[in-house]
Each structure stands twice: as C-alpha cells, then as structure tokens.
Structure 1
Amino acid sequence: MARITVVNLASVDLNLFVVLRAVLDEGSATKAAARLNVTQSAVSNALARLRILLDDPLVVRTGRGLAPTPRALAIAPRLSAALSALEELTSDLAAFDLATTRRTWTMAFAELYGPTLLPGLYQRMQATAPESSLRVITLDRMAATNAMELGDLDLYLGIAAAIPAAWRSEPAFTDGIVGIVRAGHPLAHRDFSLEDYLSIPHAHVRVTPERGGEVDDALARIGRTRRVVVTAPHYSSAVPVVESSDCATAIPRRLAKHYARTRGVEIFEIPLTLPGYDIRLHWHARVDADPGVAALRSMVHDVVATR
C-alpha cells in the first residue's frame, strides 16, 4: 500500500514551492536560479528539502537536464494554479487604486451618526473614489447576520460593549450630551438652572437598553425626576417634537450642532454631571492589510475631523 504523506503547511516555507515551479518550468537548476535571482546552491538546497517533505525525488538528471518524476508531473498543474492564485491575491491588493475602484463598502452605525457622517463621506468619495459606493446597514442587521465575522461588513462605527478578539479598533471621536430647545423658546439664550430644566416637558430618546438613560440616572442620584411626555427610538423623531413645542431633549453634542445649523433649535448645557463617551471605528483582523478598508477608515477620520 502506498504511503500517504500529510504536510503541515504551518511549518512549511512556501518559497520552496516557488523554486519547484521554476525548476519544473525551466528543466534546469541553473536557469531556475537565474529566473528567481538566487544562487544555484539555493535552488539545490530547496529541492533537497522538498524531496524530504514530499518523500519523492521530484526531478532526476538526464542528458537534457532535469526531468520531472511522475509525482512531480501530477502536482505541477495544481502547483502552478495555487501559486498563480496567491500572486493574483497579492497583486490585487497592491494594485488597489482609490481613484478607479468600483468597490462597494459596507458600514454599520446607529441612526444618529448618519446626518453628521454621510454627507461629508459622500463628498470625499466623490472627490477621491468617484466610482465607488457605500452601503449602510443597521446595527440590528449587523448583529443578526454576524456580518463582521462573515466578512460582509467593512467598518462599524460606534460603542462596542465588548470587543471580540478578532476585531481591531481605533478612536474616531469623543462626544458628550447637551440639550436642545426650539428657537424662540422662553428659556432660550440663558443658562439653564436645574429648576429651569425640570420645569419644562421633555422628549426622551432611548437609543438602546444600555444607552439613553444618562440624564435620568444623573437626576436619580440627586433624588429628582423630569417630566417626559414623548419617548422615541431615534433623534430624528424627537427633534421635530422639540422644534414645534416647548419640549427639550438631551442629544449628543455633535448631532446637536448639526441640528442647530440645519433646523430651528438652539443648544444649551444641561445642569447635571453627565458622562462623555468614546466612539470608535471597528473592523475585522482579516482586513488589516486591505487598502480599501484603510482608505475608508481614512475618509471617515477626515469627515470627523472636519465636522
């Protein structure tokens, strides 16, 4: 019965197979060495190691040079295909051109980051990668489909309660919480005292079970409460309520600045000690060397810095 040799690739120098392909193509150790720009002794050493590894002579000397053994002939097509695939993989990465790529990037982030991120990100894509496109998925879809682990997601912008070992991350920006009221509100253009703050109705945004309770937690610590008349899952729903009433709402500072520029609202400082938080970019370790993901991260950082 023929002996089956199982090779552990983790312990193998893949350059040995590059040498073998050159020897099989050239039929000569001298020509293979010239093609690879190495010495003939380096080729001979590589062949010696491969003979032990594959338990076969691989090539034998004849009057016309080095002739492949039957086993070498059998593996030659697969060897060529495998090495070509590896070369194509690395050449694709090296050849990435932001100006001509037609790549569709996929990001995930909470709804509240859309107004402050997407317009600027679109402008940068048009300026630097005009043939590319962007797809945004919800956090629910990211979690339900395991998108990061399966390679269906390039970047996640947000706060990860626990960062998996296979994820990488870097800071994007820090943010805090402020209040907004409508332009012309009776308390606009003044410093809010705690009594002022508690005297008006509130539109409350509960983003997730873990996020959105900062104001009420701070009030509970001093034995006070506020009157919440509307609770919504998104800031885009709460802001029109504020804009058309005497309600106030607590909102991330960056988003508040956006609405102060684009809607009829004004910002005020909430008279409580509230936590800040760090927003990070997250990606999977498998795309650490992906120039496309690196380019998208760079564009996001540019937008964040500009805003």
Structure 2
Amino acid sequence: MRIDHVHLSRLDLNLLVALDALLTERSVTRAAARIGISQSAMSHALARLRTTFSDELLTRGPEGMRPTPRALALLAPIQEALAQIQQITAPPAAFDPATADITFTLGIPDSTEVLLMPILIAHLQTNAPGVKLLLHTVDRNRILDDLDSGRVDLGIGVFEQGQTHHKRRILNKESYLCIFNADLVGVTAPISLDDYVRIPHLLTSLVESAHGVVDDALAKIGRKRVIALTSPRFSVMPFVVRQAPVIATMHSRLARFFAESMGLTVSPAPIALPDVSISMIWHSSNDDVPSQRWLRDTIITLRQSDSRLRIGRAPG
C-alpha cells in the first residue's frame, strides 16, 4: 500500500488516541480522564474527529453516548494501528541471552574470524545457545553502507573511516610478525633484511592490490620484495608457508596462532612497520539496543581475555 504522506501530514495522529478512548469509554468525561486531558479539550477533539471522518461518530442516546456504524467499523483498525505505533516507539525490550533466539550479522575478515570465532561460538553455546551468527567478508569500502542499510549489525576489522552516526571501539592494537617454515627457507629467527627481500612473499590483500604496508616500508629504504601470491584470505597463508619456501608478514597474534598450530617459525620483521588498530564499528541507532550492546560487550570481554592469554607466546 502506497503511503499518502500529504494526507497524513494534515492529520493529527493524537486524534486517533482520543477516538480510541472515546469509543472505549463512550463518555467525553471518562475519555478525557483516561488520557489525561480536560473535558473541553476532549470535546474539541471529538469535533475535529467528526470533521475528519465526516461522521458524527458518537451520538447521544438514552443510555449515554452511542457509536455510529462508521465508528464501530473504525474501532478495530485504529486499535491495531495504535498497537503497532506503540510497539515501534517503545523502548527495546530487555535482552536475556540465555533464552534469546536471534541472529546477528557481522562483517569480519578471516584473520579475525580465525581467532575470535572459536572462543565466541564456545561461549554462545554455553551461555546463549539460541544466538546465531551470520558472517560476511568485510569490505572496508562498503562497510558504512552495509551498516546504514542494516545488512550488517557489526563490523570488525581495520577501520579508520566513519561518520557522525557511526560508533567505533578499538579492540586491540596489532604489530606485525613474519611467519615461515625454517627448514624450507633455510633461515632462523630473527630474519635479516637481505633474507627478507630474497625469499618470495605471500601478500594478503582485501582490496585486490599486490601492494601492501610492507612494500611502502621497503620503498622508504630503497628495497623491494618479490610477491609470489596475493590472496584475500589470511587463513590460506599458513598452509602455503608450511609447504613452500616462502614468507608471510601478518598481524602478530594471528602469526603466533598459526605458528603454534602448524609448527612454523615467527620472527620480527627487519623493517619498521606501523601498528594497526582492530576495531568494532556499528550504527549509532544500535548503540543502546540491549541485544546489540550485549554482543559488543561479549566480544570485548572475550577478546581481552584471549589477548592476555597470548601475551608473550611467540613460538619458534
């Protein structure tokens, strides 16, 4: 049904509240008391309603005011409309994770997915079994549009941008580490700059570019590297590193996780690389929604706990 905005703009929707009270109480005095206005104000509202609907709506009878057939036909639709408006405008209901049946949509890179999802899903299965997650690969060029359209509830990743109606919370800072199979590349940690540029590299790029932060840092000192593979997926890199004489440079927590899981070696990069901030970003309209706030708080708590567990653990 097409909404006639011009027609609705001429209608005082408070009159529908008055009409519901009048038809329920069938008395101007009691209807006025019901919604907290004076009797004269209610009489004025009834006069305006009669004009709006071109009907008397309520007429006087021997037993008081009596609704007309038109008024009786209006009662159920008006009460339904008012109930829907009340539901739309009511504060969000309290959220109980133990009984909730809800799906959250997250935009998240697989680098964060690998580290966060195991502990988050384990937590949800124990504490909120009805909560489900739908994951999308995060696109930094689209994340704001996805949040604005409601396609995504929460983005997690490296986000510097945002508008006044977006909220951002830093989860943690990340440095970089190199990861490689020491037996295949023939070097040990810490890797030298000459070995670093000699060994072919793997590059993870979410923007389909064979150029990254490492290339910028090398260019500043007049050096270059050879990139053997560029992929948008972080999770494929350790499998390639384990079987090929190549090297990858990635966020330190992820590198340590892969090294520990797959028997690989990590090393500080022999060049200066800037730290990055891993953040959550969401639309401000979700800021005070209890379910959304619970999800963000849960991720923060789990991420901080996981960070503490991994501090200082750099195998290899």
TM-score, structure 2 normalization: 0.75
> Structure 1 CA distance, aligned partners of 2:70 and 2:211?
67
Determine the structure 2 residue equivalent to 1:215: 214
- Partner letter of residue 188 of structure 2? A
Stretch of structure 1 that moved more, 206-215 or 126-135: 206-215
CA deviations on 1:205-229 (whole Å, 9 max, x unpaired) are 2332469610011111111112333
1:112 aligns with 2:111: yes
> Structure 1 CA distance, aligned partners of 2:85 and 2:297?
27
Determine the structure 2 residue equivalent to 1:234: 233
Gaps of 5+ in 1: none
> Structure 2 CA distance, aligned partners of 1:206 and 1:217?
14
> Structure 1 CA distance, aligned partners of 2:50 and 2:154?
42
Give how far 1:161 is off.
Answer: 6.3
8 A Cα contact 1:7 1:53, kept in partner: no
Q: Please show how residues 233-272 of structure 1 align to structure 2 within 5 Å.
A: 233-272=232-271
8 A Cα contact 1:23 1:32, kept in partner: yes
Determine the structure 2 residue equivalent to 1:102: 101
Stretch of structure 1 that moved more, 119-128 or 59-68: 59-68
Superposition CA RMSD, Å: 3.6
Determine the structure 2 residue equivalent to 1:278: 277
Give how far 1:83 is off.
Answer: 1.3
> Structure 1 CA distance, aligned partners of 2:95 and 2:150?
19
Structure 1 residue matching 2:92: 3-state secondary structure: helix
Q: Please show how residues 172-191 of structure 1 align to structure 2 within 5 Å.
A: 172-182=171-181, 186-190=186-190
Give how far 1:127 is off.
Answer: 2.5
Structure 2 residue matching 1:231: 3-state secondary structure: strand
> Structure 2 CA distance, aligned partners of 1:211 and 1:306?
34
Stretch of structure 1 that moved more, 243-252 or 283-292: 283-292
> Structure 1 CA distance, aligned partners of 2:43 and 2:292?
39
> Structure 2 CA distance, aligned partners of 1:211 and 1:234?
13
Aligned mate of 1:45, from 41, 45, 62:
41
Residues 46 and 305 of structure 1: CA distance in aligned 2, closer, same or farther (over 3 Å): farther
- Partner letter of residue 138 of structure 1? T
Structure 1 residue matching 2:188: 3-state secondary structure: coil
- Partner letter of residue 8 of structure 1? S
Gaps of 5+ in 2: 1-5, 307-316
Give how far 1:128 is off.
Answer: 2.4
> Structure 1 CA distance, aligned partners of 2:126 and 2:221?
51
8 A Cα contact 1:183 1:243, kept in partner: no
Give how far 1:93 is off.
Answer: 3.4
Determine the structure 2 residue equivalent to 1:171: 170
> Structure 2 CA distance, aligned partners of 1:182 and 1:123?
31
CA deviations on 1:264-294 (whole Å, 9 max, x unpaired) are 1232221222222233323334444433222
Structure 2 residue matching 1:224: 3-state secondary structure: coil
Determine the structure 1 residue equivalent to 2:7: 6
CA deviations on 1:236-265 (whole Å, 9 max, x unpaired) are 222122223442211012211321332212
Residues 50 and 118 of structure 1: CA distance in aligned 2, closer, same or farther (over 3 Å): farther
8 A Cα contact 1:115 1:258, kept in partner: no
Stretch of structure 1 that moved more, 120-129 or 174-183: 174-183
- Size of the aligned set, in residue pairs, is 295
Q: Please show how residues 129-208 of structure 1 align to structure 2 within 5 Å.
A: 129-139=128-138, 143=142, 147-160=146-159, 162-163=161-162, 167-182=166-181, 186-190=186-190, 192-208=191-207
Structure 2 residue matching 1:93: 3-state secondary structure: coil
- Partner letter of residue 136 of structure 1? L
Give how far 1:158 is off.
Answer: 2.4
> Structure 2 CA distance, aligned partners of 1:235 and 1:208?
13
